[in-house]
Amino acid sequence: MAEAAIGGGGAMVTADGVPLKVSLRRAERRRKLTAVLLVAPLLIFILVTFVLPIADMMWRSVDNPLVAGTLPRTVQALEGWDGSGLPEEPVYAALAADLAAAQKERAAGRLAVRLNYEMSAARSLIGGTARRAARLEPPYKAALIDLNERWGEPEIWQIIQRERGLLTASYYVSAVDMRFAADGGIVAQPDYQQIYVDLFLRTLGLSLAITLICLVLGYPIAYMLATLPLRYSNLLMILVLLPFWTSLLVRTTAWIVLLQQQGVVNDLLIAAGFITEDGRLQMVHNWVGTVIAMTHILLPFMVLPLYSVMKTIPPSYMRAARSLGANPVTAYMRVYVPQTLPGIGAGAVLVFIISIGYYITPALVGGQSGQMISNLIAYHMQSSLNWGLAAALGTILLAGVLVLYWVYNRIVGTEGLKLT
């Protein structure tokens, strides 16, 4: 650090004659640079290994290269079509040429799968036509309609025209149980095909239930931990921390073992005479299992923030309230509980955020009725392979979580994020 001295002009300069202001600014810039350089490796690492993949997934939810890429001539020929009735002969000729080329390059199958998301008969329509496209003779309109009568209906043409762009909204439209109508408007799916909105609502409902149960169970023990003398509370804290540190799969396995029909809880209930041998309760592979196991898994996330807030509340406030004549219930509800609100808020939002994105436990103990939105995302990624729809559902879920995280941040701040 250079020494400061008063220069000839009256302005402060350092020993080597540089004005102090300049020197200071230079030093600050250097320190800023050091700080940035220290953070840079991790920032780049996270951007490449984590943020880019998620951005890529979000891009996939609107990305639509197949129609324009596989049917370039058809898309161009459809340019002037007004969407009513059937297109003219040049469009059919272009389609025949496109499909013949697609068949040769083995691109027809992917297009067929893509269009099948929009219209359930499209896979066989495209596939079957592509196989015979090279052998078709003009006039193509008559030949194609003869090959498959669906080419004589406007629906498939409307779909090709609608999905000709490089971006599509159709995955999002499906993700909220809607579909495009013939006139281009958006209408609700028929009842029997509505899945996602219900599942989003069930996810919210289950998460809310889990959060409330965690609060009801977590509040008393957090209070006990915060008010007991340290040597007892440290011991009891282990009972909260051990589950927290135990493998998720171990805890899920434990609940399957406990709750299954031939399991320990049913045996205990029979031994105690509450139920009979034939009346064994179904507590796992349905939503009850999901709620019980997830409450157990997330309870520490409620207890720890509550505990850290309660630890800071001086017991003298309650004593003061009592000595001023409040009965114990009034003193507790009007003096103690309001002071714990930040802890309640932090714990509740934390548990809620974690539970709406939960995948493993519902997949293992949820059965049919305990599935959440994550399970459907996984299904579309691994089984139905409709990756666009998986990405759209994931993006909606992510948006919800980020909004909640913003709320959480308003309550506790990132600085308040503590682990031990």
Partner 1 sequence: MALPSYAGPVERAWYYAYRVICAAIFVFLIAPILVIIPLSFNAEPYFTYTHQMLTLDPDGFSLRWYDEFFSSDAWLTSIRNSLIIGVSATLIATALGTVAALGLARRYMPARGLIMGILISPMIVPLIISAAGMFFFYSKLELAQTFLGVILAHAALGTPFVVITVTATLAGFDYSLTRAAANLGAPPVTVFRKVTLPLILPGMIAGGLFAFITSFDEIVIVLFVAGVDQRTIPREMWSGIREQISPTILAAATVLVAVSIMLLATVELLRRRSERLRGIRPD
Residue 159: closest CA among 105, 106, 111: 111
Q: What are phi and psi of 12, to 5 degrees?
A: -70, 130
Q: If you write DSSP's letter for every residue of 327-369 in order, what string do you get?
A: -HHHHIIIIIHHHTHHHHHHHHHHHHHHHHT--HHHHHH-TTT
Minimal distance in Å, beta carbon 395 to partner 1? 8
For partner 1, the closer CB: 181 or 403: 403
Exposed / middle / buried, residue 87 (Cβ in 10 Å: 0-12, 13-18, 19+): buried
Looking at the Cβ atoms of 141 and 296, the one nearer to partner 1 is 296
Residue 12: CB minimum distance to partner 1, A: 21
As measured in angstroms, the least distance from the Cβ of 386 to partner 1 is 12
Residue from 351, 224, 380, 350 nearest 291 by CA: 351
CB of 271 to partner 1, least distance (A): 10
Q: Closer to partner 1 at the Cβ: 161 or 371?
A: 371
- The nearer residue to partner 1, 17 or 328, going by C-beta atoms, is 328
Query: CB–CB of 330/321 below 8 Å?
Result: yes
Nearer to partner 1, 100 or 349 (CB): 349
Cα torsion through 190, 195, 199, 200, rounded to 10: -60
Query: Of the two residues 7 and 263, which places its CB atom closer to partner 1 in the complex?
Result: 263
Least Cβ distance, residue 177 to partner 1 (angstroms): 20
| Residue 386, CA distances (Å) to 61, 94, 116, 216, 393 in order | 10, 28, 10, 40, 11
* Distance of alpha carbon 151 from alpha carbon 120, whole angstroms: 14
Provide the minimum distance between the beta carbon of 196 and partner 1 in the complex, in angstroms, as a whole number.
15
